[in-house]
Amino acid sequence: MTDNRPQHGGTVTLTVPSHPKYLYVVRSALYPLALEAGFPKKEARRVVLAVDEACSNIIRHAYAGDPTKTITMTVEEGAERFVVRLRDYGRKVERAKIAPRELKDIRPGGLGTHFINLAFETVNYDTDQGQGTLLTLEKKKQQVKT
Q: From residue 145, how far is each of 32, 50, 60, 103, 132 by CA, in Å?
A: 18, 14, 29, 19, 31
Q: Residue 115 is part of a domain; what is its CATH number?
A: 3.30.565.10
Please report whether residue 93 resides in a domain.
yes
Please report whether residue 5 resides in a domain.
no
Residue 28 structural domain: 10-140
Tens digit of each residue's pLDDT, the chain (146 residues)? 444 444 556 899 999 999 999 999 999 999 999 999 999 999 999 999 999 999 999 999 999 999 999 999 999 999 899 999 999 999 987 766 655 555 555 544 555 687 898 999 999 999 997 899 999 999 999 754 54
Give the pLDDT confidence score for residue 93 in this predicted structure.
77
Domains: count for the chain: 1
Please report whether residue 4 resides in a domain.
no
Helices (runs of H) and strands (runs of E) counted in the chain: 3, 5
Please report whether residue 20 resides in a domain.
yes
Please report whether residue 2 resides in a domain.
no
- State how far the Cα of 109 lies from the Cα of 75, in Å rounded to an integer: 26
Give the pLDDT confidence score for residue 144 in this predicted structure.
47
Give the pLDDT confidence score for residue 110 in this predicted structure.
58
Kindly report the number of other CB atoms within 10 A of residue 63's CB atom: 20
Give the pLDDT confidence score for residue 98 in this predicted structure.
59
Please report whether residue 145 resides in a domain.
no
- State how far the Cα of 58 lies from the Cα of 101, in Å rounded to an integer: 18
Please report whether residue 146 resides in a domain.
no
Please report whether residue 49 resides in a domain.
yes
Give the pLDDT confidence score for residue 113 in this predicted structure.
80
